[in-house]
Structure 1
């Protein structure tokens, strides 16, 4: 059995390979269609997922993989063993379609409901974030996908003037109400799972999300943030878990959550 360090390296290489395919389509222009849930999907989502699934089936055949487009097609593996991989091949499809650069590739390993390894790669920004196996890092890549730097990251202590992150494409009134109630004055609008990574990097303090999300949207960023000293919690303060079947929610759907920096520094 491969150890976590090896698995994290495989996730990193798979995400970079998928990002290369995504950028080729991004520059050429992608056809867009709607899935049954009315969310958009492009050829980049599907091509990137094929790249990742091919790599994972070759290198980690013993671990079941739950991938967004596979689930949309009705193909869901047995995850009753408690250890599985979550894949979002292109998180922030609306950002991708709209010509914004803050879309990501997300890959995470789940063990007993907890995201223990995660990679979030923003190919258009040349930035990859990883968490788990005893480290949290930001990896910088050049235009040829060569790694030029690996920098440790850590969530910051609670700021006297905290900054909140909100979704560009999927904000909702419940999230706005939480920010108003918390008297948070500064906010930044960012797409995709990069919001988790900005908290993990110490560039923001909180990412509240009360609109719908799926586990593949959050698991990799959650793993990065936890490795950097932060936490993703439900409204009652419990850690967000994965492989859920909650009453009133679809399989793999998240409840509302709040991603924050260092828990020990919260007031």
Structure 2
């Protein structure tokens, strides 16, 4: 269908929308904001909600109109979601813990999903004025502030020692086991979807996520990595799929640029 060949027609609008959501986030970022707690005990701020409302309003106005699934409005039954061939998948503020710490490592994530795969992705880090975006068949790009976007590509050949990027806020014993099997490597920690983007632009070789994430955490950046020449797979080498099951939790996964290596062998015996 035309959408799968031309999702790029939405890119300009979605990039502008993500930047507007980022502007609203920054208004709260510099204030004396309060931190609430959601039902799953994760933190919630007014910035999450301000970004959510901005994105939903903007995406609803686009034509053709598609359903919207946001982290802040996720209580939709699978029976309803199952009927969606194409929809927007949104994380209004990825890295709320980083936002609370005021370290700048948080992003606005917007993805367009078509038949369980991301065909458009925008990741915007408002505190850094840094935007990554991609659409199927159009490549991946990085834009700093309002300068001209630059094409990005993964490192097709992993370096030695390996450059591994990991979560600043989430570490597990299983991840420690995985890393111990890699051999010599350099581990750098950073928050939010920026980890994917480092792989996409060749600044890192591997991002192993041996821990829980949700589909809105990964979809936008997944598209960017894919269009930059990389892969996002589960521990068995299968690409992540979206809205394909009742749970919105992802399996454990690996993000990499060098496709000549069997990264999954380092995860042997690790389930998730």
TM-score between the two structures when normalised by the length of structure 1? 0.91
* Cα 1:66–1:159 shift into 2, 3 Å: same
Aligned counterparts of 2:229 and 2:135: Cα–Cα separation in 1: 11
Aligned residue among 251, 256, 270 for 1:255 = 251
2:164 corresponds to 1:159? no
2:90 corresponds to 1:87? yes
Counterpart in the other structure of 1:144: none
Counterpart in the other structure of 2:111: 108
Aligned-pair CA distance for 1:15:
0.4
Aligned counterparts of 2:238 and 2:8: Cα–Cα separation in 1: 27
Aligned-pair CA distance for 1:184:
4.1
Report if aligned partners of 1:116, 1:223 keep a CA contact under 8 Å in 2. yes
Aligned counterparts of 1:78 and 1:7: Cα–Cα separation in 2: 22
Counterpart in the other structure of 1:14: 17
Report if aligned partners of 2:67, 2:84 keep a CA contact under 8 Å in 1. no
Aligned-pair CA distance for 1:264:
3.9
Three-state SS of the structure 1 residue aligned to 2:81 is: coil
Aligned counterparts of 1:115 and 1:176: Cα–Cα separation in 2: 30
Three-state SS of the structure 1 residue aligned to 2:103 is: coil
Counterpart in the other structure of 2:206: 206
Report if aligned partners of 1:158, 1:266 keep a CA contact under 8 Å in 2. no
Report if aligned partners of 2:69, 2:88 keep a CA contact under 8 Å in 1. yes
Three-state SS of the structure 2 residue aligned to 1:28 is: coil
1:201-246 per-residue CA deviation (whole Å, 9 max, x = no partner) reads 100000000111000000011110001000001011111111132x
Aligned-pair CA distance for 1:82:
2.0
Counterpart in the other structure of 1:150: 149
Aligned counterparts of 1:118 and 1:244: Cα–Cα separation in 2: 19
Three-state SS of the structure 1 residue aligned to 2:90 is: strand
Aligned counterparts of 1:129 and 1:150: Cα–Cα separation in 2: 9
TM-score between the two structures when normalised by the length of structure 2? 0.90
* Cα 1:201–1:32 shift into 2, 3 Å: same
How many pairs were matched up? 256
Aligned counterparts of 2:187 and 2:14: Cα–Cα separation in 1: 31
Counterpart in the other structure of 2:37: 34
1:34-90 per-residue CA deviation (whole Å, 9 max, x = no partner) reads 10000001000000010000000111462111100011xx24663523211110000
Counterpart in the other structure of 1:58: 61
1:97-119 per-residue CA deviation (whole Å, 9 max, x = no partner) reads 01111100000011111111100
* Residue segments in structure 2 that go unaligned for 5+ positions in a row: 264-272
* Residue segments in structure 1 that go unaligned for 5+ positions in a row: 142-146
Counterpart in the other structure of 2:123: 120
